[in-house]
Amino acid sequence: MLQLFQSFIGTGDQFLIGRFVCLMIALCVIIATCLCLFKKSRWKLHQIYFIAVFSMGLVFMCTLPPLSAPDEILHFTGAYALSNQMMGQSVRDEDGHVRIREEDEYLVNWPGDDDPCKATVLGQTLDRSVYEAMHEKGLFHATETGTSITLQQPVKTTPCAYLLPALGITLARLLKLSAVGLVLLGRFMNLLLFATLGAMTVRRTPIGKELFFAISLFPMTLELAGSYSYDSYIIALSFYLTAVILDLALAKPSTGITRKNVIELSALALLLSPCKMIYATLFLLCLLIPVQKWGARPWPKWILSVLLIGALIVGSILLVNFREVLRYVNASGVTQAPEFTSSGDVNTVKLHDLAELIHDRTLVFRIIRNTLQILGGQFLGTTVGMWLGAFDRGLATPVPMLVLFWTGTLLLAITGRREEPTLSIPRRVWMVLVFLLLGFILMVSMLLAYTPADTFYILGVQGRYFLPFLPVLLLAFRTPRLHRLRVIGRVGIGLDALLLSVMLLMDALVLLGCFLTVVQRA
């Protein structure tokens, strides 16, 4: 490390030394503050959660360059399009391309690749030149005026997923910040939303507060939280939905379901379901709530509530994703996806389709089995953050840390508190079934949408897709009988605080490793 930074002395890259020192100081302050809050402070866990996740996410956001997260450029384009609407400007040009400031063309057609004919996205390839470019550009002053376009096309989803990032972009445009300032302010707003919803989750859930905290400290989760990815929005909303349902299901019998509760679940249905359709399956957890909680003559009220929430889920999905629905239910056997050959010719690739699965009813199970055998270890690793960025093998979480992250999370999942309500066996079984059903739907959807017919394992599935519903499975094995494991001798700190502190330390080490890897790349 010393030799690395000695090589910067006398060059234009000396600012990287200061950047590294600032990173070290920030990480030390965050870890020391959280340790003090865990050990001596009377702050509640949801307050510590907000400080820990927001501050660590902020460091991730500033260290991993903009638009380097998985599919982040597509989500950035979607947020920019919504910002155009907020400002009353034309969203697209006559060719259907999203309009952007000429200043911001720097992000989607980065001149650092020295190829004016190639539209390279800033952060698409991570090396020292990206940090140099961001340093030279600065944050506060736009140097170009006028409008331009981006050839990137946004993901088709609900505008709610991009509301906070779009507000950040709009504010940056009004303040005339540089392209780098604009992209960071939008990221900041998405991180703020994630940390706020996460803190609400920890405060609301009657069980597993530390589990939600631990999953939020996965390097993959922190990277997504501080990016434009709508996975940040989906994970945070899914966590909060799970917490709300558990609260309603496990509250004292005297606490009934009110109109306010039904409205809250309805709002979550509208916000979550159309963003990524498969996660609407989480609303099956509502069956954990006893019918008797609907008060006198509960069945009519229960049926009306189910019909209302179900109609909102189906209606919002069809309104936003009608074409995607048709794509998945196509049973014609001719589903195809265009690809380009090396010579530039268009080649069509036949995908697996619904007709094939209906004809051979065991095919999907055989393919899922093959997928878990081939990629199961990768799923476990990428859920935590085995590779960060766009699957950059250099930005890696070491295997021992992956094991420690999973071990700590499992311990926090199963060791309940004595005062916590206990899940009955039928409820535990139902939670496991919901997890398996959601996983099955995820696999089938990626089979139909991305997997060629001559491939017998599923392509396109990544560990981050399991994050929104991972707590559902782990909480099913929670037991207050192991509460004694939570106290560690005379250390003066509980097991939960110790494990969460270790996770924060590992996040710091992962981030330092990523930074040093990038700056060593010429």
Q: Which domain holds residue 510?
A: 2-250+365-519
The span from the CA of 492 to the CA of 232, in Å, is 34
Does 356 reside within a domain?
no
pLDDT at position 493 is 57
Pairing of strands 346-350, 98-101: unpaired
371 Cβ contact list (under 8 Å, min separation 6): 443, 457, 458, 461
The span from the CA of 138 to the CA of 177, in Å, is 9
The span from the CA of 224 to the CA of 215, in Å, is 12
Do 67 and 76 touch, CB atoms closer than 8 A? yes
Pairing of strands 392-396, 336-340: unpaired
pLDDT at position 487 is 55
pLDDT at position 81 is 92
Do 188 and 61 touch, CB atoms closer than 8 A? yes
The span from the CA of 82 to the CA of 361, in Å, is 43
Does 313 reside within a domain?
no
More confident residue, 192 or 522: 192
SS3 337: strand
Does 436 reside within a domain?
yes
Torsion sign, CA atoms 60, 64, 67, 72: negative
Taking residue 450's Cβ as centre, other Cβ atoms within 10 Å add up to 15
Mutual angle of helices 179-204 and 230-250, in 10-degree steps: 10
Beta bridge partners of 147: 101
Torsion sign, CA atoms 250, 256, 262, 263: negative
pLDDT at position 5 is 58
Does 351 reside within a domain?
no
Does 352 reside within a domain?
no
Tally of domains within the chain: 1
For the chain, what is the radius of gyration of the CA atoms? Answer: 24
The dihedrals phi and psi of 96, each to the nearest 5 degrees, come to 90, 10
pLDDT band, very low/low/confident/very high, at 420 (cuts 50, 70, 90): confident
pLDDT band, very low/low/confident/very high, at 214 (cuts 50, 70, 90): very high
Flag whether pLDDT at 191 surpasses 70: yes
Taking residue 21's Cβ as centre, other Cβ atoms within 10 Å add up to 11
Does 298 reside within a domain?
no
pLDDT band, very low/low/confident/very high, at 334 (cuts 50, 70, 90): very low
Flag whether pLDDT at 275 surpasses 90: no
pLDDT digits (tens, 9 = 90+) for 127-160: 888 888 888 877 787 777 778 888 888 888 889 9
Torsion sign, CA atoms 289, 292, 294, 295: negative
Pairing of strands 346-350, 392-396: unpaired
Does 274 reside within a domain?
no
Taking residue 357's Cβ as centre, other Cβ atoms within 10 Å add up to 17
Instruction: Name the helix (H) or strand (E) containing 147.
Output: strand 147-150
DSSP, residue by residue, 338-396:
EEE-TTS-EEEEEBP-HHHHHHSTTHHHHHHHHHHHHHHHHHHHHHHTSEETTTEEEEE
pLDDT at position 489 is 45
pLDDT at position 247 is 93
Torsion sign, CA atoms 483, 488, 491, 493: negative
Instruction: Name the helix (H) or strand (E) containing 53.
Output: helix 45-63
Residue 312 one-letter amino acid = L
Does 99 reside within a domain?
yes
pLDDT at position 115 is 64
**Token duo for residue 327:** 């794509």
CA dihedral 75, 81, 86, 90 (to 10 degrees): 180
Across the chain, what does the average pLDDT equal?
85
Instruction: Name the helix (H) or strand (E) containing 270.
Output: helix 259-272
pLDDT at position 2 is 58
The DSSP symbol for 490 reads T
